[in-house]
Structure 1
Amino acid sequence: MENKTLETPAVNEQRRNFISGSISAGFLGAGIAAGLVPALAHAESGKPVDRMASYTADQLERVKQVLVVPPMVPAHDQVAKGKPKVVEVRLHVEEKQIELENGTKAWVCAFNGSVPGPLIVCHQHDYVELTLVNPKTNTLAHNIDLHAATGALGGGELTLVSPGEEVTFRFKAIKVGTFVYHCAPGGVMIPWHVVMGMNGAIMVLPREGLSDGDGNNLTYDKAYYIGEQDFYIPQNEQGQYKAYDTVLGSMNETLEVMKTLTPSHVVFNGAVGALTGQNSMTAKLGETVLFVHSQANRDTRPHIIGGHGDYVWNTGSFSDRPSQNLETWHIAGGSAGAALYTFKQPGLYVYVNHNLIEAIMKGAAGHIKVDGEWNDDLMTQVSKPSPIKS
């Protein structure tokens, strides 16, 4: 995708827990506008003042962002045009079963039906106005905590909805970078919902676009969003993975497996092999690709086998100078990071969590198919395999 212009009773108990405070246990946790007005002015103190930060939501144009299923990302501008915007997004919660691999199923609570939820993209000083819809066919209460938002609980208290309800809230994106969002309805429901795939990411770009830290602009030809997810599927006495008829029916035994901190599966985008075969990511020789990678619950370590991170924001902060030429980078649990790489050779690249046990044995691997002409100067087979010479 080209992205240079890249748009019951259980419920009642959850609500009581949230309001009464059980939530606290789980919540530790462009430079020129349209060519007319300088983005930076100077106050009497002589310190720069960002004019783009001074607008309020009622002064701004409203745009609806068309969210897409990961690994694709919404259409967006890499450099902001004109004034900030009010970016409207709508997320529906789906409680459903998905297949992880070979008949192994898991109940998930999925934003817009996908694991991870869709990537949201905006620019610094934009407002994000988000509507969260919890259909009446669902069983559980849900909300959303956005790590990009500034305010208590990241919007969690303002967005708690029971089945059959929807809610709209708005926040101003004042911090730049890549950030996780996830459901956090209170108590043990927080980790349970997160490991049921109820998480995603938001990217807040600098208004002037990405930079190498020395004032040079960085651009990309396409972007992909990889959401890494740990699952905890109970097993029976014969070691077979168990299945459940209802989402609440899966809860107690899943919580017991979660206490071991040992996932049964660690996957990209909701299933083993979800980013392989016909679903592989693609690129062309010479293209620069932005990879956004999130993990809402556990640390991870992305690596492109045969490639590198030319520029990496492993903490997700676009305010920081990116690291360069990394073989593997670390992303802390509960965060999202970003990396740029320009492909110099064609072929099949494997994108992995470089805990190779998790990559090969538990599923945290995807493919990138790159088209182009091979360069023997960068890599070649000097001689074919032959018997060892004595």
Structure 2
Amino acid sequence: MAAGESAPKQGRPAPDLSALERVQVELLAPPQVHAHEARATGKPKVVEFRMVIEEKTLILDDQGTEVHAMTFNGSVPGPLMVVHQDDYVELTLVNPATNSMPHNIDFHAATGALGGGALTIVSPGEQVRLRFRATRPGVFVYHCAPGGAMIPWHVVSGMNGAIMVLPRDGLKDRAGKPLGYDKVVYIGEQDFYVPRDKDGKFKRYASPAAGFADMQQVMRGLIPSHIVFNGNVGALTGKNALTAKVGETVLIVHSQANRDTRPHLIGGHGDHVWASGKFSNPPEQDLETWFIPGGAAGAALYTFRQPGLYAYLNHNLIEGVLLGATAHFQVEGEWDSDLMSQVEPPSPIR
């Protein structure tokens, strides 16, 4: 909310929701996603979430590059929330007294009041409760938007996440046939803009505010120092790799609150892809790479058919390989030689 703006005036009173079932959900840190129904049973509910804003130091890479992150619930990205169309999302947003600045939340899935941003500004030591009806199915970004230059700074300091609003009768393919999944993983792509000193080394600061001016200069150049999945380089590789089995269907939710991205699964495909993230639109099929614009979230469904290591990355390969936007899936199962086989091993040229 820009300086001088105030919360909107109250008009028609909120509906009486006392007859609706209330469900309290404990959020999980990405890439994990809280338990939910793929297809809704019963009538719309009031789904209650609680998120605590945490300003914290993150280490971005194995060189020890440090950034003062701003986070929802301590993770970058913030947790994925899952509800169904026509459910009510009721969020308690907590800004502990240990934090140094005001924050709020703008839900791209919400209607009015700057996505809730105008109703949720909380100073350190305050909390606020927001409720909105999830009218549109899809995956949507949420982020902090406290106004002016603070908006991009808070977003590229890690303060963003996603919410998934499922159709009440579940996902469907282009022909309207129901689609299911065995698990959901949430990947949040984050661009960081860490200033360097005169010797080219990444700088450290005593507090978020101390680095604001230098970071603004880097941001104006539009060239990130790091582009990572889930908070740091290697967060989803090696011992932290995502796992699956041959025959399992995985729904990959991918958000980028600030920059365009081009997800690609090396060795696999997007069986069904909602690149715009909106489930009312029919998914595209059999994609090699898909495009998610900055400020949006997308979803892709894939059934793994071969065991082994798969790399999931931003296929701007400079961003994916050199700057850090890569994840791994380690898949167990039996190899299908009909899909691929090495006919002849390497040998001297004859």
Task: Provide structure 2 residue ranges, at least 5 long, that are not aligned to the other structure.
Answer: 8-14
Is 1:209 the counterpart of 2:170? The answer is yes
Report what 2:135 is aligned to.
174
Q: How far 1:277 moved relative to its partner? A: 1.3
Aligned to 1:258: 219
Q: Matches of residues 111-130 of structure 1 in structure 2 within 5 Å?
A: 111-130=72-91
Aligned counterpart, 1:277: 238
CA distance in 2, matches of 1:21, 1:236: 38
The aligned residue for residue 44 of structure 1 is: none
Structure 1 match to 2:289? 328
Return the index of the structure with the highest Cα Rg: 1
Pairing 1:106–2:67 present: yes
CA distance in 2 between partners of 1:57 and 1:305 (Å): 47
Aligned residue type for 1:161: V
SS in 2 for 1:93: strand
The 8 Å contact of residues 132 and 166 in structure 1, kept in 2 or not, is answered as: yes
Write out the 4+ residue segments of structure 1 that deviate beyond 2 Å after TM superposition.
55-59
CA distance in 2, matches of 1:338, 1:292: 4
Deviation at 1:310? 0.1
Deviating more after overlay: 317-326 vs 378-387: 378-387
Matched, 1:289 2:250: yes
| Pairing 1:312–2:296 present | no
Separation (CA, whole Å) in 2 of partners of 1:122 and 1:137: 31
Q: How many pairs align?
A: 342
Equivalent residues in 2 for 1:342-381, closer than 5 Å: 342-381=303-342
2:46 is the counterpart of 1:86: yes
Supply the AA of the counterpart residue of 2:193: Y
Q: Is 1:183 the counterpart of 2:161 in the alignment?
A: no
Q: 2:19 aligns with which of 50, 59, 67?
A: 59
Indicate conservation of the 8 Å contact 1:64/1:88, yes or no: yes
CA, structure 1 residues 56+334, in 2 after alignment: closer, same or farther (shift >3 Å)?
A: farther
Shift of 1:247: 1.0
**Aligned match of 1:73:** 33
1:166-203: per-residue Cα shift (whole Å, max 9, x none)? 00010000000000000000000000000000000000
Identity rate of aligned residues, in percent?
63
What corresponds to 1:196 in structure 2? 157
CA distance in 1: counterparts of 2:319 and 2:4, whole angstroms: 38
| Change beyond 3 A, Cα 1:139–1:215 | same
* Residue-by-residue CA offset, 1:313-338 (whole Å, 9 max, x unaligned): 00001000000000000000000000
SS in 2 for 1:84: coil
TM-score, normalised to structure 2, is 0.96
SS in 1 for 2:67: strand
Q: TM-score, normalised by structure 1?
A: 0.86
Long gaps (5+) in structure 1: 1-16, 24-54
RMSD of aligned Cα (Å) = 1.3
Contact 1:57 1:127 in 2 (8 A): no
